[in-house]
Structure 1
């Protein structure tokens, strides 16, 4: 696969926080995200965009952005987690934050995340807004909620120490919808220190793949829980109950 690297207003230097976005034909979503990044109180961050060879105006929009330290990589990929892996490898941040093209950050998000950074902390998680209301970290027992036991959400709601991937590997292409679940649970098993902050850092869109492909999401959630050692019988019962509950969405 070929990929092209665009540099626009980019300063290649170490930074505390990298914002990483995977895009594909996202021109209708980007203006709101760009606006939210430009309005950050703390502007000392880099934005890495890993684009899947968009054919709309995504790249045109990104190449004409000013006022943000931005790097754009474009080329075919194997899905969102492959794109995120590419972005992580290209970033210079001590921590990174994943945000979708249709998400947004509130003005104090970067400031609040950086304020919470300290030695020994590997994951920092905060509260997020969604179309269904506010989500806080520690949403229930791990056997029931998986990564939601630890964090509010993988995108928008948490930042991750970049060096974790050198120890634990990158997002698995075997889980095209729920690789984040696998990574967060693996990090927790490894002993990663997770810090919770109470501020609301942004809004997560409910229109992603995990919301649209309900059957695929439920299947991968089940697979991750079993792979991570949760009781298979209990997880099978929960899987069946979730299928029944979400029958109209399948």
Structure 2
């Protein structure tokens, strides 16, 4: 069999209410462009029964206890056969025909190709890499297609619970790897995901950054800036209810 262009991976745990829309948004894409893996963390809410309903259209799936979202993602990477890897959350939705729209840009010379996402509160998030990436993650995971070659020597850090994807994106920036931004909305995403828990996000972002940013004073300065930025986000959340 020919190698699929894209491996779409959904990691899920107890998301029965939203999972079917996620699955349908993937399976409605051009089937020649992708394979679809679902990695379930041992759901008990009926998610597994729902996956059974669609299993004949999947490359594969399994349900077992894991050590968190990044452990599940690593399991998906181990299964993926595609030239490109894309992660879609169990409460997120691919835009219609978006894989066909993205296909012309998936050139093997790039390490990552990414676009935008649209949140259910109306917020349009534009992913990018730049100096701000030294401060915090600037690529939304549901906007990014990663060249499978990146995972030859990389797996997500399972000791982190919400920002392990920042490490990959920080490496892309620091090592000046070839990337491409495309002005396409890739997915509709739910607000209030794990990365919106600011206190934990702050701690984990600083931990990831400290592995790559030297000297220590520079990382401490960036940590202070991020603390100030998160403080104003808390104020906005309190005043306007914005949570992304």
TM (norm. structure 1) is 0.84
Partner of 1:182: 167
| 2:185 alignment partner in structure 1 | 200
Unaligned runs of 5+ in 2: 239-244
For residues 68-122 of structure 1, the C-alpha deviation after alignment (integer angstroms, 9 at most, x for no partner) is 3331121111100000000010111110110100000011211122221113111
1:57 alignment partner, one of 46, 58, 76: 46
| 2:10 is the counterpart of 1:18 | no
1:235 aligns with 2:222: yes
Residue of structure 1 equivalent to 2:128 = 138
Partners of 1:145 and 1:200 in 2: CA distance: 24
Classify 1:142/1:80 alpha carbon distance in 2 versus 1 (closer, same or farther; 3 Å). Answer: same
Cα distance in 2 between the residues matched to 1:196 and 1:13: 27
Task: Give the CA deviation at 1:140.
Answer: 6.0
Give the CA deviation at 1:13: 5.6
Once the two structures are superposed, the pairs formed by residues 1-250 of structure 1 within 5 Å of their partners are 14-41=3-30, 43-65=32-54, 68-130=57-119, 131-138=121-128, 141-142=131-132, 145-148=135-138, 151=139, 153-154=140-141, 156-167=142-153, 169-211=154-196, 213-229=197-213, 231-247=218-234
Report how many residues are paired: 233
Give, in whole Å, the separation in 2 of the partners of 1:247 and 1:127. Answer: 23
TM-score normalised by L of structure 2: 0.86
CA RMSD of aligned residues (A): 2.3
Q: Distance in 2 between matches of 1:190 and 1:48?
A: 30
State how far apart, in whole Å, the 1-side matches of 2:56 and 2:182 are. Answer: 28
TM superposition outliers: structure 1 runs of 4+ over 4 Å: 246-250
SS at match of 2:17: coil
Distance in 2 between residues matched to 1:66 and 1:143, nearest whole Å: 38
Distance 2:97 2:54 in 1: 21
1:123-148 Cα deviation digits (max 9, x unpaired): 00012111242112327632565331
Aligned partners of 2:135 and 2:226 also within 8 Å: no
- Secondary structure of the residue aligned to 1:124 is strand
Greater shift, 220-229 or 71-80, is seen at: 220-229
Gaps of 5+ in 1: 1-11
